[in-house]
């Protein structure tokens, strides 16, 4: 069977990351792109793109929409993670060659990260896809990029700067990999352009390795007139409080965020990539000046 990928279906194309991946696929000029959208959805995607309205709870509906596709790229949000199990079943049954699930995040190949409760749905999907690949012709690629750099800064996740009181975890010097949405889009194009080299494995990408203190220094350059009042917190204390909330059955972002921080920043959880697939996938990385420009947009 030829490994060449031409027809690509994307799910979640209207989201923050999905819209960037869609634009990158189109701009590459290499693929015929098809958007799968929930039946009745009013989401807007790039004009002129083939759109299929799908019942994501129906195997037959998914199979019909995926017939003739070489690859599936999923950029569904957290609420749709486990829906990818049926999506993968449908893809394999109609001969899809490559499945890229909505991994896009922490290093879930690290055993400690893999055991964090917040990643249980992703691990479940990963395991299911791996099992499918053993008995069908469908292959997979998992994309590990650790934290979203631009999106994270804009939403006060990587470093909370909007109120000028950034929270520095364990002093702010923990090093971690960070990746912009644009570079993730580049990586997806790179995976589909190099199907043999990216077959049945995880790829690691990042734009830079940084720390919260390094980012704060760049924020100060972007907004020199601001008065900054950093607040130092303990990661262990954050996770202990999350454990208490979890034990009480409180399942919200306040509970889950410390686990995300643990996976992203704690050196024992693999969030700082020593080696990447940047060169293979065409991820060029970002400079400190690029980060300053991101801050300028966010802090203006």
DSSP per-residue codes, 161-222: -TTS-PEEEGGG---EEEE-HHHHHHHHHHHHH-TTTTTTEEEE--SEEE-HHHHHHHHHHH
Query: How many residues does the structure list for the chain?
Result: 300
Is the predicted pLDDT of residue 133 greater than 50, yes or no? yes
Average pLDDT over residues 172-189: 98
DSSP per-residue codes, 58-77: -HHHHHHHHTT-SEEEE---
Residue 134 token pair = 């053993």
Average pLDDT over residues 53-70: 97
Is the predicted pLDDT of residue 272 greater than 50, yes or no? yes
Query: How far is the C-alpha of 208 from the C-alpha of 220, rounded, in Å?
Result: 19
**Model pLDDT, residue 3:** 75
**Model pLDDT, residue 48:** 73
Domains (ranges, CATH) in the chain?
Answer: 7-145+181-204 (3.40.50.720), 148-177+208-299 (3.90.25.10)
DSSP per-residue codes, 13-81: TTSHHHHHHHHHHHHHT--EEEEEEETT------TT-EEEEE-TT-HHHHHHHHTT-SEEEE---GGGG
Is the predicted pLDDT of residue 90 greater than 60, yes or no? yes
The 32-38 sheet, strands edge to edge: 50-54, 32-38, 7-11, 71-74, 98-100, 139-144, 201-204
**3 state SS of 137:** coil
Average pLDDT over residues 192-210: 98
**Model pLDDT, residue 40:** 74
What is this structure's pTM?
Answer: 0.95
Cα 29 to chain centroid distance, Å, stands at 23
CA nearest to 125, candidates 142, 144, 147, 106: 142
Query: How far is the C-alpha of 180 from the C-alpha of 193, rounded, in Å?
Result: 20
C-alpha angle 170-171-176 in degrees, rounded to nearest 5 = 70
**Model pLDDT, residue 49:** 84
**Model pLDDT, residue 1:** 43
DSSP code, position 225:
T
Average pLDDT in the chain: 95
**Model pLDDT, residue 9:** 98
Proportion of the chain above pLDDT 70, given as a percent: 97
**Model pLDDT, residue 235:** 98
CA nearest to 215, candidates 292, 298, 105: 292
Residues 6+ apart with CB under 8 A from 163: none
Average pLDDT over residues 71-76: 97
pLDDT digits (tens, 9 = 90+) for 288-300: 999 999 999 988 7
Average pLDDT over residues 110-124: 97
Contact 6, 32 (CB under 8 A): yes
Residues 6+ apart with CB under 8 A from 109: 142, 144, 202, 270
CA nearest to 130, candidates 120, 140, 122: 140
């Amino acid at each position: 069977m030829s490994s060449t990928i031409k027809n690509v279906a994307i799910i979640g194309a209207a989201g923050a990351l999905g819209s960037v991946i869609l634009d990158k696929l189109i701009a590459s000029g290499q693929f015929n792109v098809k958007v799968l959208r929930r039946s009745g959805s009013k989401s807007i995607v790039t004009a002129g793109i083939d759109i299929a309205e799908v019942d994501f709870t129906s195997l037959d509906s998914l199979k019909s929409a995926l017939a003739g596709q070489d690859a599936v790229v999923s950029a569904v949000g957290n609420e749709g993670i486990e829906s990818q199990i049926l999506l993968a079943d449908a893809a394999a049954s109609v001969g899809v060659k490559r499945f890229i699930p909505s991994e896009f995040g922490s290093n879930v190949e690290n055993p400690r990260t893999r055991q964090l409760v917040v990643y249980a749905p992703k691990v479940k999907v990963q395991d299911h896809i791996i099992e499918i690949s053993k008995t069908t012709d469908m292959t997979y690629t998992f994309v590990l990029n650790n934290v979203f750099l631009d999106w994270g800064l804009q939403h006060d996740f990587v470093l909370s700067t909007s109120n000028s009181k950034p929270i520095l975890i364990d002093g702010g010097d923990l090093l971690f990999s960070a990746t912009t949405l644009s570079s993730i889009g580049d990586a997806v194009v790179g995976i589909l352009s190099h199907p043999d080299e990216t077959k049945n494995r995880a790829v690691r990408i990042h734009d830079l390795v940084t720390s919260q203190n390094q980012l704060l220094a760049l924020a100060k350059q972007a907004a020199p007139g601001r008065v900054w009042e950093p607040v130092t917190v303990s990661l262990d204390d954050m996770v202990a409080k999350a454990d208490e909330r979890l034990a009480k059955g409180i399942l919200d972002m306040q509970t889950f965020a410390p686990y995300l921080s643990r996976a992203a920043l704690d050196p024992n959880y693999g969030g700082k990539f020593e080696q990447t697939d940047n060169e293979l996938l065409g991820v060029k990385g970002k400079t400190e000046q690029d980060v300053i420009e991101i801050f300028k947009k966010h802090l203006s």
